[in-house]
Each structure stands twice: as structure tokens, then as C-alpha cells.
Structure 1
Amino acid sequence: MFNEKFNEVLTKEGVVSITSWSAENVHVVNTWNSYLVKSGENKLLIPAAGMRKTQKNVEANSRVILTLGSKEVMGYKDYQGTGFVIEGTAKYLTSGEEFDMMKEKFPFLSRVLEITVESLKQTI
């Protein structure tokens, strides 16, 4: 699922937007490309220190949309920069092997946001 262009974007710094929603609320939170860790064929792990509104939304509705990109990676038709839209489901991890691995990499986290990617589309 994670193609070469996506993997290249993860090696460059850029902003990641995570959108979550529930019946009461739509919320967008940001993090950095360098904080995304691939796990298996279709999972992304993201350190969470805050993200309390996101967690509340995910508990009501696990669907999320992420956008990310980098101006340093060539896009379609030799455009300077490329981006991706990811759709999937989310849950928070507070223990376990992946939590421990992420805690070692990112000591500031209190939880790990795990995204199961269902769709990955390059946008530019």
C-alpha cells in the first residue's frame, strides 16, 4: 500500500493534518511527517501527547482523513512538491509492543494513534 513516492515524502519534513469527526464536532490536528512510523502493510503509528479532541471523536467514529506532503519531492508532471490524502480508521494504543517501540522513539507521547490505511492517493 505504501508506494515509493509516499515513502520518499516521509523522509522529508512537512505538516500532516489529521481530521476526525463525530456528531458534535469536526476537528483537525497537525503533526509532522517525521513522526509517522509505518507498521506492516497498511498501518501508520503517530505519537500523541495532546490530541484529546481527536481521541474523543475517534471513540465515537473511528474514521479519519489525513493529508501530508513535501515540497521537496517531485509530484506529477514534474511539479515541485507532492501530497497525499489518506483515509482509514483510527484507534489509540496505551500499551503493547508498538506502544513501547514508539515511546522509545518519542518519549513525550502518552498514547499512540494507530491509523489503519484503507486508501492512499497522491494528489499532486
Structure 2
Amino acid sequence: MISPAKLQGKVAAMLPTGLGQAAWAAGTSTAEALISPAKLAALLTAPAARAVGSHALARRTSGTAANIGDTLAGSALAAANANGDGSSNLSGTWICLGYSTDTSSATRTTLWRRIS
């Protein structure tokens, strides 16, 4: 496996002619089509648990179904295991990445991603 530092070095070696090294490395150049080391590192870095961009297996606390793309306040979700057991409510806004029914805690459990 290649280390992030080694990967950054390989990407930096591909610096286009005429583009400032510091601006490109920081991801602040106007050449947005380029993937800078800073932008690449941001894509490869996993967000902390419960942070924006993180994923959670959670169940709806009410008995309503959820479909892919539905958004929901974290206060209406509880972190859960595959059986639907769990009690810790989430914060922020989450988007559903799966499907859940309204019949039981287990069937109200699916994958969610925090969007705000």
C-alpha cells in the first residue's frame, strides 16, 4: 500500500508547467480541473464519527418508512445495530442510503450519511 506522503509526492511530481507549486499544492490554483495534493488528501481522509460526511447504521425512531434520498433530522434517528437496537440519537441532517419499512426497529434500520 502506498503511504499518503508518497502518494502526495507522486502527484506533486506531475505539476503542470507554469503553475505555481504552492498554489497547486494547497489546492488554491485557478486550474480547478487539477487534483492538488490538498484536495486528494481531503478525499482520502475519513470524517470523524457523526461528522458531516460520515455514515451511520441508524433506525428511524418513529414508525414510518424511508427511501433512498429521503432526508431526516438526526433527532428522528438513533444509532443502531442490524437488529435495530440502539438508543443514542444523532444530530444534524442525514440522507437515507437504503430503504426501511415501518414495521419494527429492525426493519426501520438502514444506512444514512450526514449532510449537515
TM-score (normalised: structure 2): 0.29
Larger Rg: 2
Q: Which has the higher contact order (CA 8 A, sep 6+)?
A: 1
